[in-house]
Structure 1
Amino acid sequence: MSVWSPAEVSVVSGSAVSLSCSFSSSSRVTSLMSVDWKFKPQSGGPAKLFFHFSSVAYPVEDERFRGRVKWTGSPSGGDASIQLLNATQNDNGTFSCSVRNPPDIQGNTAQTVLTVTPKRVSLTLTDVGVLLVCVVGPSAVVTLLLLSRICCCSEGPPALQHHSPIEVIAGEEYFYTQTQHKHSACCCYFKDSEYDEDEYMADKLHEHTITESQC
């Protein structure tokens, strides 16, 4: 009995994978032909039988593979393959296939190392377009609003300037100086007028005194 299978098989997590097993017997295949599949985890431990076929596929009792193994072989065609559904990373390990066809029961065991890789997130063109709209759209709107506010502020009326009550604005300094000069001149004028009136009264009093003395 000769049995062979692929040395390595890779699959993405969540997908179905075919575990191929082919055989060639020196005897005609009969209903006594049987197939056994065993699994040895990548983490270590002994190989454990999880699938058996003999005329019919027996239900899988192993909790790890229950409901996930499908018989796809054809004994008459020398095919003892199975299909593993919904592969997970817990399925990483070595799968062994052995075939017996009495009286041809001496033969080798074929082994396949299965590697289950995580599912990669792929972006379609539509997904990229939606992502760009969601990210670039709001940014563009905010930019336009800021630009419109800047333009409105630059074209608006000049801001009123507030000055301190004691601050002298340009142009007021000359007016303030002239006003002070006028006030000083007025004061001086009135002072000069007061001085002239006193002298005048003094002169009058002096003349009156002289007149009386002459009399």
Structure 2
Amino acid sequence: YRQNWCIIKLSASCELKFFFFLLHDRQVSAIEVHTPSEVVAVNGSDVKLSCTFKSTQPVSDQSVTVTWNYRPPNSQAETSVFYHQGTPYPEEQGLFKGRVVWSGNVVKRDASITLQKVSPTFNGTYTCQVKNRPDVLGNHGEIDLKVVNKVSVSEIGILAAAVGGSCAVILVILGIIMGVKLYKRRQKEMMDIEVYSVGKSDLY
């Protein structure tokens, strides 16, 4: 009985040490991924989705894997956008076919991509996940992309004309108000002079 108790005690001790070993290993071998929280792009333009990372392990093209996924607005379903390990593997079908290029440099801890000729259908959340074994744990970056329509030259002209016209009207109104005030002030001064002159003549 005593021998069995020692075996059980030793087993529990080993499991506890193994647990702390895994916890320590998880803390040391955690990769950090950094991205902007939001990117705004003009409809029809190219936009870079920046993603950088920090790893406790040596970095090389073959050791690092980069995975980009896309999640449409108000949806939890994810679509593959891009994969890189030593060489780029762009999507060959779907929304992102021929629309994504590699803009990163793994050696410089850069896992960025560029979306070409974006449209409102590209709106959504993009996730950047980087692994560098044994650094496979850690966070992933998320970017909310918003594609907006370009303001045309005619719209800018109309807006400028509206603002300019409003300013002109305000200036005219201010000019009239100031003119009326000056006129009343001048009239009052003339009346004061006349009253003073009449009073002075009465004294003599």
TM-score normalised according to structure 2 size: 0.59
Q: Which residue of 2 aligns with 1:98?
A: 129
Q: Which residue of 1 aligns with 2:84?
A: 53
CA contact (8 A) 1:5 1:20 kept: yes
> What are structure 2's unaligned runs of at least 5 residues?
1-30, 159-204
User: Is 2:39 the counterpart of 1:5?
Assistant: no
Among 56, 59, 65, which residue is 1:29 paired with?
59
Q: Which residue of 1 aligns with 2:49?
A: 19
In 2, distance between residues paired with 1:74 and 1:84? 16
In 1, distance between residues paired with 2:92 and 2:98? 9
User: Is 2:94 the counterpart of 1:77?
Assistant: no
CA contact (8 A) 1:34 1:99 kept: yes
> Structure 1: which amino acid aligns with 2:46?
A
Total equivalences in the alignment = 127
Q: Secondary structure at the match of 2:90?
A: coil
Deviations 1:108-132 (A, max 9, x none): 110000000112211499x99xxxx
CA contact (8 A) 2:90 2:100 kept: no
Change (3 A) 1:116 1:39: same
Identical aligned residues as a percent: 35
Change (3 A) 1:62 1:42: farther
In 1, distance between residues paired with 2:57 and 2:79? 28
Which one has the largest radius of gyration?
1
> What are structure 1's unaligned runs of at least 5 residues?
129-215
> Structure 1: which amino acid aligns with 2:109?
G
User: Is 2:73 the counterpart of 1:42?
Assistant: yes
- 1:115-130 to structure 2, matched below 5 A, reads 115-123=146-154
1:43 Cα deviation from its structure 2 partner: 4.2
TM-score normalised according to structure 1 size: 0.56
Q: Which residue of 2 aligns with 1:131?
A: none
Q: Which residue of 2 aligns with 1:213?
A: none
> Structure 2: which amino acid aligns with 1:14?
G
CA contact (8 A) 1:50 1:61 kept: no
CA contact (8 A) 1:50 1:62 kept: no
